[in-house]
Structure formats: structure tokens, C-alpha cells
Amino acid sequence: MSTLERDPQIEAVIFDLDGVITNTVYFHYLSWQRLADEEQIPFDRQTHDRGMLGLNREDALCYILGDRQIDSSQQQLFLKRKNDYYLELINELNGEHLLPGIENLLIELYAAGVKIALGSSSKNAELVLERLGIRHFFNFIADGHSVPRLKPAPDVFLYAAESVAIDPAHCLVVEDAPAGVAAGLAAGMWVLGVGPYDRLAQADSILPTLAGISWTDILAKLMSLAKEHRLIDTPCT
């Protein structure tokens, strides 16, 4: 059964990190760009945004390398260098780097008793949330260390749902990347895309930003979508 065929009884919200909670996407790009420049690998922002959003670190490196072959030891060195560059960049990360609307939404969810989890491919998620000053809102963090298969596989979201003891059918995923949207849908969860429509067209609902958006607004939007879907799919008698 698709999400739109049932009422959105949301008991847990699982957030992606990069591009949803904070704009560390740009820090990742700068880190990959530095590595690519040092290794004389063709790379630019368009390449990053077109194919790397939502990928874990290993898959992102493969994407950058293309047909270029390296052995496993060199791969690990490349990954460590990229991560070191990233950690340098986020050294000054703080609450001012939260994306618009996210802090108010977390406060509303917390007050409403909705479980809050993270479902991210990042291996630095705990550190980032601590630096942003919002770690205390989260009941559980599922990240790049949690499961062997990352997005677009549904595993990280299913693991988060299991860890907060909420059925996937009652979870909402908030994502900004196609791989994350695919993962959320594969997990049987509702998916709210945040960003451009053309990038997130498969999500159940899409918002350009969370700025000015309340939890009540999101629930009302999901309920309206479910009702509209049922009306369209109900045959005339």
C-alpha cells in the first residue's frame, strides 16, 4: 500500500542532515573540490550537485573518480583526506548555521511528543548536531556507521524507525536528495522533500524551504494529499 492510500498518522519524523538541518552540503563540496584539485581530477559544483547529493562518502568518491582505478589503500587515504578537510571546515559550525525553520520545527515536534530521529549517510552526524546545539532534540541517530547499506537503500531509515519503536508506516522522512527520497519511499514511509521540485518529484509532498512552516502545516498538507488521492482513485458509482 502506498503512503497516499492511508491517513498520515505520523508518530516519528526522521530528518536527513546535510541540506535539511544545516547547509553542510557546501562544506562537503569544498572538501571534495580540494581533493579533486590536488589529484587533478576534473570536478566542479555542477558535478557535485548533479550526482553526489545523498551519497555516502565511499560512493561519492567512486562517482568523482569515474573510470579512474585506485587500490583500496589509496581509496582509504583519499577518504581520510576528504574527511579531514571537512572537519576543518565545520570547526566553527554553530546554531547560526541551522537552515531556516528547522529549529522551530524541532521545538514543535518535541513539545508534541513526536519521536525525532536522524537518518543520514554522514559519519560525522553526532559531531555536527552537537556543534549546532540541537543534539538534545533527537531520540536516536542513524548515520553512516549504523548500517552497511546506505541510501538509496532504505536501511538507515528502517533502523531509525526500529530504534525509536515506531512502525515505518507512521514515520515521515524529511529529505533534500533523490537518493534519500527513494530510500524513504522504499522504507514505506511518508516523504517530505525540501528543495527544488524537479529534483524531488517522487516525494509525497515538496516544500521549497521549511522557513515559516509549522508541524500543523505539514500534517495538514499530508492529510490533504491523502484525501485527494483517495478521491481520485475511488471509481464512480
pLDDT at residue number 92 = 85
Ramachandran angles phi, psi of 180, nearest 5°:
-70, -40
Which residues 6+ apart lie within 8 Å of 68 measured at CB? 41
Same domain flag for 71 and 13:
no
| Structural domain of 192 | 3-22+98-233
pLDDT at residue number 5 = 63
Q: Which of 21-30, 109-118, 121-130, 227-236 is the least confident region?
A: 227-236
CA 122 – CA 128 distance, rounded (Å): 9
Q: Tell me the mean pLDDT in the region 202-214.
A: 97
Same domain flag for 103 and 188:
yes
Q: Is 172 helix (H, G, I), strand (E, B) or coil?
A: strand
What confidence category does residue 236 fall into, taking pLDDT thresholds of 50, 70 and 90? very low
Cα-Cα-Cα-Cα torsion 187, 193, 196, 202, nearest 10 degrees, comes to 40
Q: Which of 54-63, 131-140, 144-153, 177-186 is the least confident region?
A: 54-63
Residue that terminates a domain, selected from 76, 92, 108: 92
Q: Is 89 helix (H, G, I), strand (E, B) or coil?
A: helix
Burial-class residue 179 by CB neighbours within 10 Å (0-12, 13-18, 19+). Answer: buried
For residue 127, pLDDT beyond 70: yes
Same domain flag for 106 and 177:
yes
The CATH code of the domain that includes 56 is: 1.10.150.240
- The number of domains in the chain is 2
pLDDT tens, position by position, 48-83: 988 888 788 899 999 999 999 999 999 999 999 999
Q: For residue 18, indicate whether it is catalytic.
A: yes
Q: What is the percent of the chain where pLDDT is above 90? A: 79
Q: For residue 49, indicate whether it is catalytic.
A: no
Stated pTM of the model? 0.83
Same domain flag for 170 and 120:
yes
Same domain flag for 106 and 200:
yes
Same domain flag for 116 and 16:
yes
pLDDT tens, position by position, 174-206: 999 999 999 999 999 999 999 999 999 999 999
The CATH code of the domain that includes 13 is: 3.40.50.1000
Same domain flag for 74 and 8:
no
Residue that terminates a domain, selected from 58, 92, 126: 92
Same domain flag for 51 and 88:
yes
Same domain flag for 113 and 216:
yes
Quickly list H helices, 120-214: 125-132, 155-163, 178-186, 197-200
Catalytic annotation, pick one of 7, 18, 44, 204: 18
Catalytic annotation, pick one of 7, 16, 67, 217: 16
Same domain flag for 113 and 60:
no
Same domain flag for 116 and 215:
yes
Residue that terminates a domain, selected from 56, 74, 92: 92
pLDDT at residue number 176 = 94
Give the chain's mean pLDDT. Answer: 92
Cα-Cα-Cα-Cα torsion 173, 178, 182, 184, nearest 10 degrees, comes to -10
Same domain flag for 79 and 139:
no
CA 39 – CA 30 distance, rounded (Å): 14
